[in-house]
A = this chain, B = another copy of it.
Amino acid sequence: MSVSLPLAGAVDLQLGKRLAEQGDASRGLTPCSECHGANGGGSEEVGAPRLAAMGEAYLARQIDNYKDGNRRHPIMQPWADALTADEVQAVAAYYASLPPASNAIVPNDIDPKPGKWLALYGDWAGRRLPACIQCHGPLGVGVGEYFPALAGQPYNYLVGQLAAWTTGSRKGDPLGMMSAMNRHLSAKESRSVAAFYASIPEKKAVQVAAEIERGALQPDPAKATPPTDELGQMATKGSAHTGPLAHQGEIPSGRPQAEAELFEPPLRGTAPDDDFGELVKLGEAIYQHTYSHPVSGKYVGNTQVCEGCHLDAGRLAGAAPMWAAWVSYPAYRGKNKKVNSMTERLQGCFKYSMNAQASKVGAPPSAESRTIHALLSYMYWMATGAPTGDKTMPGRGFPKIAETKQGFDPARGKRVYAEKCAICHGDAGEGAWAEGEGGEKELVFPPLWGPQSYNWGAGMHKINTAAMFIKANMPLGNFIELSDQDAWDVAAYINSHERPQDPRFNGDLAETTQRFHKSQFDYYGKRTGPDGKLLGEAAPMPTASAK
């Protein structure tokens, strides 16, 4: 899905600068700066976006969108039509090279709080609406080629674009995801989201993003009610499924439909303001930033986060929610043939899904660690009111998926992946990151195979488990529905790649396969990978600090 761009070095930045600042009178092209500002920070007056420090590929794609008619604008459309491909690249590269700037003016009559809530948390339970930050990165600093920065965009531009997605006058978003998402939002909410993002100074976005990554930017308890009455009503009315899902057809069959019957964990941000609440908040931050969080990162040997599989920070029904897990332990697990306490269960996540063996510590967090205590407290708090021992809570685990007549096939799955998954998870399953402060990367979409993914012992390496998860939860927000067959096939494709070694590997692939990987839904030690070796054969044994 990626477009091939000339390397930045080969682009004529001077050409871009000239077009931006002077236009080309011979072709009737006004300078970009006339609408987008001399600093590239956009304009409230004409509703023009900021371009400065936006992604080069994203900017070039937008000019192409005007050429293609996916976007409409009386000035931009003829402008785009006039440019050559080289000029498009030059202008895009020029603006991408500018320092961050924003000419946004925050309207003082719009309450940004509901928008902030939706931006940070979304509204999963009510509308299956992912948070904006889940694709646009921490506080909207932008991710990859497809997800532009939102921080510091002029309010009027954002309001206009949100409306354009809804009416269909703007197109060109991969798989129609923005138009689908946006149909979930009321006009009032759109204004609030726009006001929130306009309020974030672009030059501070990275810093603010870093703050939220560290769990410092927590919502006020005062904001911890559903952001607006309107939002609350929509959620109550179950309008979630009158939008894109109804539009696309069925609600994904895999996930719970009777949301009214689902357990409701406490609202986000309502943890008490005391020592226990502090630990709950830490647990939530760890849940979302497991590998990069200063408290938990040293136990993580890849770049995964708990939230990667347990969506909405462990709250989402059908994505193995933590409130249902909490009341299910201690419990016997066939995996290690004993009764596991919740602490042991969590340590298992680190051992397999987080590949702790390759972490700085080289092992999962101890029962005494702050990481375990924070996660236990967070889970316990999320389960407030859940009946102890109830293993039948609707939404528990991943919903079952029926086997299909055709079985599963990685070759078919490869096509599904390229069409519907690669946009976020990358062509090579490498995941996607947003830039963080100091240039380090912050995970946005988790890697699905390779050294930074879950290892061969993780539950997700099993094709049936992955198929269940994918069917019920992918793509994020279910703005399109995968067929059962697609879910099986793409799960098979993902899990036909090499990944970190099973920590139970004893040096003998056949024996390890026999002991732990006999399932028909498991390619370890059976299927040959792209390098001609059996899967598991080329998987490196993790060593501490290899991260």
Looking at A156-164, A379-387, A457-465, the stretch in contact with chain B turns out to be A379-387
**Could you tell me the distance between the alpha carbons of A389 and B266 in the complex, rounded to whole angstroms?**
11
**Could you tell me the distance between the alpha carbons of A329 and B380 in the complex, rounded to whole angstroms?**
8
Find the B residue at minimum CB distance from A326.
Answer: B388
Copies of the protein in its oligomer: 2
Q: Mark A327-345, 1 if CB is under 8 A from B, else 0.
A: 1011110000011010100
Interface flag for A304 (CB, 8 Å):
no
Interchain CB contact under 8 A, A384 and B388: yes
Known A275-B332, A331-B276; contact A341-B385, beta-carbon cutoff 8 A: no
Which residues of chain A from 369 to 406 have a CB within 8 Å of any chain B CB?
372-373, 376-377, 380-381, 383-390
**Could you tell me the distance between the alpha carbons of A509 and B185 in the complex, rounded to whole angstroms?**
66
Contacting residues, chain B, for A386 (C-beta < 8 A) = 387-388
Interface flag for A267 (CB, 8 Å):
no
Known A279-B339, A331-B276; contact A388-B383, beta-carbon cutoff 8 A: yes
Contacting residues, chain B, for A220 (C-beta < 8 A) = none
Interchain CB contact under 8 A, B339 and A377: yes
Interchain CB contact under 8 A, B388 and A327: yes
Interface flag for A274 (CB, 8 Å):
yes
Interface flag for A368 (CB, 8 Å):
yes
Contacting residues, chain B, for A385 (C-beta < 8 A) = 387-390
Interface flag for A367 (CB, 8 Å):
yes
Contact of A388 among B274, B367, B380 (CB under 8 A): B380
CB distance from A331 to the nearest CB of B (A): 6
Q: How many residues of chain A have a CB within 8 Å of chain B?
A: 32
Interchain CB contact under 8 A, A341 and B388: no
**Could you tell me the distance between the alpha carbons of A373 and B329 in the complex, rounded to whole angstroms?**
11
**Could you tell me the distance between the alpha carbons of A386 and B276 in the complex, rounded to whole angstroms?**
21
Find the B residue at minimum CB distance from A274.
Answer: B332
**Could you tell me the distance between the alpha carbons of A377 and B388 in the complex, rounded to whole angstroms?**
12
New A-B pairs, 20, CB < 8 Å, besides A275-B339, A383-B389, A386-B388: A275-B332, A275-B338, A276-B330, A276-B331, A326-B388, A329-B380, A330-B380, A339-B377, A341-B343, A341-B372, A341-B376, A341-B377, A366-B367, A367-B367, A380-B388, A381-B389, A383-B388, A385-B387, A385-B388, A385-B389
**The 9 nearest A-B residue pairs measured at CB:** A367-B367, A384-B389, A383-B388, A275-B332, A330-B377, A386-B388, A279-B339, A276-B332, A385-B387
Q: Which residues of A line the B interface, CB within 8 A?
A: 274-276, 279, 323, 326-327, 329-332, 338-339, 341, 343, 366-368, 372-373, 376-377, 380-381, 383-390
16 A–B contact pairs at CB < 8 A? A275-B339, A276-B330, A276-B331, A276-B332, A326-B388, A329-B380, A330-B377, A339-B373, A341-B377, A343-B367, A383-B389, A384-B388, A386-B387, A386-B388, A387-B387, A388-B388
